[in-house]
A and B are shown apart, each in its own frame.
Chain A
Amino acid sequence: MATLKDVTAIAGIGQTAFARQLPESEKVLACRAIIAALDDAGIAASEVDAFASYTMEETDEVEVAKAIGAGDVTFFSKVGYGGGGSCATIAHLAAAVATGQAGVGVAWRSRKRGSGPRPWKNTAVQLPAPAQWTRPYGLLRPSDEIGMLARRYMHEYGATRDHLFNVALACRNRANQNPDAMMYERPLTRDMYMTSRWISDPLCLFDNCLETDGALACVIVSAERARDCRQKPVYIHSVAQGLPAQHHGMVNYWNDDPLTGPAWTAARQLWKQADFGPDDVHVAQIYDAFTPLIPLSLEGYGFCGRGEGAAFTEGGALESGGRLPINTGGGGLSEAYVHGFNLINEGVKQLRGVSTAQVPDAATCLVTAGEGVPTSAVLLRS
C-alpha cells in the first residue's frame, strides 16, 4: 500500500500580524499570508496548482488563486467542522501532491474574529437541525458546549481549575516569549485566573481563546522538491482525520463515551502510520480553543492514560523543559486564535529551530486540530 510517510514536506510558511482589529479585509490578509509563505519557500505564485482551507473560511480559492496569480489549479479542498479541519488541509494537500494530482499546494486560514462576527452571535438565523436539541435551552456558544464536557471530566477524574490554569499559564508563558503574540507583554498569574469573570462556569475568561484578526498559510510540495527550496524541509510524516462512531458535532453528549472525543479516533490512525510513538514527540501544538481540550487531547493522543490528562499538566510538564512542551508560540489561548493554523506554522518553526521558545534539537512535532468537533492531526519531522 502506498504511504504518505515523509513523501511531502512543508516548504514555506507565512503570516500577517495578529491583532484585535486589523484594517485589511480577510481576503487581503489571506493573500498576504499566502504570498509570504511562497516567498519563504522561494516558489513563484504561478506554480501553485492546489489549495486547501476549511469551513468558515470566507475567502474562496477562486478569489485567492486569481489574486495571487496562481496558474491552472487542479486540486482544491475545503474541510468541514471549523477548527477541526486545520490539519486536514495539510493531509489533503499531502495526498494530492503524493499522488500527482498537484505539485505545489497552499493551505491557508484568514479570519477577522477580533473585529468581525462570531458564528454564534446570530444564533437565531443559524440553527442547523442539531441545534433544536441544545440552543433553545441556552447552550449557545462553543464555550458552553465544551464547559459541559469539562465539568463532567472534572467530576469523573478529580480535575480542578488549577489543572486548567496550568494549561492557560503554559500557553501564556510561551506567548510572553513571542513578540508576534497577542499576549506578548501580558503575563498571567494564578490570582488573575482565579478571580477572572466566568464565561460559562466551570470555564472562566482565561479558559477561552482570543478573538483575533489575522491570517496564516503554508506551502506543501514533494519532499524531493522541498530539499531544493530556501528553507529546511519539514516532512509530513503522518496525517489523520477523526470522526468517532455516533459522534455529534461539538455537543458530543450522545455517543457511548463523550469523554473520548475525535482525538482518540484520529490518534489511532496517526500512530498506525508513524515510525514513532507519543514518547518520541519532542514538542506538541495542541488545539486550545478552550483549556479542557488539552487534557482531553493528551489522553486521546496517548501521552497519558484515560483520566490522567489533568494530572499530566502538573509540575510544569507543559512548559519549556517539561515532559511535553506545548503551544510554544502561545497557542490559541495566548498567541492568536486563527482557528488553529498558527499551531501548524509554529510546529514548522520548531523543526526549523527558529521558534521563540525553541525546544533544543526538536525533531518531531505533533500538531492537532479542534477537539470536540470532527478533527485532524499531523505529525511533522525534520
Chain B
Amino acid sequence: MSDSLLSPVVDEDGAPFWEYAARGELRVQACAAPGCGELRFPPRPCCPRCQSFDSEWRLMSGRGRIWSYVLPHPPLLPAYAEQAPYNAVVVELTEAPRIRLVGNVVSGPEAALNSVDPGRLRIGTAVQAVFCPTDAGTTLVRWLLER
C-alpha cells in the first residue's frame, strides 16, 4: 500500500538505520568511544559529546511512548490526502527518552495510516515498534498501541 507514499531518501549517515529496520531491528547510533556510549539521533558522523568518529548501532527494545502527535488534513500530497486525516506521531524510546522518532500509529505493520481511531491517541501512551516493508525497498518503522 505504501508505494505511492514518500520513501526515505537515504543518506550515508542514515543508511545503517534503514538496513537494520529491513531486518526487523530498531537500532540507534551510539558513540563507540570507551567510556562514552552517547546515543544520538538523527545519525551523524561524530559524537556531539566526545567528538569521536567511532560509532555502533545499539539494539533497542522497540518500546516507546507517544511524545506528541498531529492529525494532518488536506491539502496534502495525493497519496497522503487519500488516507487523511491520519496520525503522525513523535515517539520517545522507553530506554532512551531523548531519542525521539517520527512515525505513525497503525493497527498492523502494513495497515493504512488512518487505521487507528485518533481518539485512542494520547501523549504518554505506550507503543511498540513494528516494521513495514515498502514497494520501494525500504522498511519503515511504525508503531502499535500496546495492549
Contact = CB atoms under 8 A, between A and B. Distances in A.
Residues of B in contact with A, size category: 35 or more
A133 B14 contact: yes
A124 B41 contact: no
Contact of A132 (B14, B68, B86, B100): B14
A144 B113 CA distance: 15
Given A136-B5, A200-B71, A248-B42, A151 B48 contact: no
Interface stretch (A52-60, A167-175, A185-193, A249-257): A249-257
Contacts of A201: 70-73, 85, 118
Give the most central of B67, B68, B76: most A CB within 10 Å: B68
Given A132-B9, A133-B42, A147-B70, A140 B76 contact: yes
Interface string A182-206: 0000000000000001111111000
Contact of A148 (B9, B73, B88, B98): B88
B102 interface: yes
B9 A139 contact: no
Interface in A117-140: 123-124, 127, 129-140
B41 to A, nearest CB: 6
A124 B13 contact: no
A137 B123 contact: no
A141 B123 contact: no
B24 interface: no
Nearest to B83: A138
> Main SS of chain B's interface residues?
loop
A155 B68 CA distance: 9
Interface in B94-145: 98, 100-104, 113, 118, 123, 138, 140
Nearest to B42: A133
A52 B84 CA distance: 40
A227 interface: no
Contacts of B42: 130, 133, 248, 254
B10 interface: yes
A152 interface: yes
Interface in A234-261: 246, 248, 251, 253-254, 256
A124 B77 contact: yes
B102 A140 contact: no
Contacts of B10: 132
A139 B70 contact: yes
A289 B138 CA distance: 34
B45 interface: no
A202 to B, nearest CB: 7
A132 B8 contact: yes
Contacts of B85: 198, 201
B68 A149 contact: yes
Contacts of B73: 197-201
Contact of A138 (B9, B68, B104): B104
Contacts of B11: 129, 132
Contact of B70 (A124, A129, A148, A246): A148
Interface in B2-17: 5-11, 13-14
Interface in A281-302: none
B7 A136 contact: yes
B71 A152 contact: no
Contacts of A135: 6
Contacts of A256: 98
B70 A140 contact: no
A200 B88 CA distance: 10
A123 B77 CA distance: 8
Contacts of A141: 72, 76
B43 to A, nearest CB: 9
Contacts of A133: 8, 14, 42, 101-102
A131 B69 contact: no
A148 B6 contact: no
Contacts of B138: 136
Contacts of A248: 42
Contacts of A132: 8-11, 14
B48 A246 contact: yes
14 contacts: A129-B14, A132-B9, A136-B6, A137-B140, A138-B5, A138-B88, A138-B104, A149-B68, A151-B68, A152-B68, A199-B73, A201-B73, A202-B70, A256-B98
Interface of B: 5-11, 13-14, 41-42, 48, 67-73, 76-77, 80, 83, 85-86, 88, 90, 98, 100-104, 113, 118, 123, 138, 140
What are the 3 closest A-B residue pairs judged by CB atoms, nearest first? A132-B8, A201-B71, A152-B68
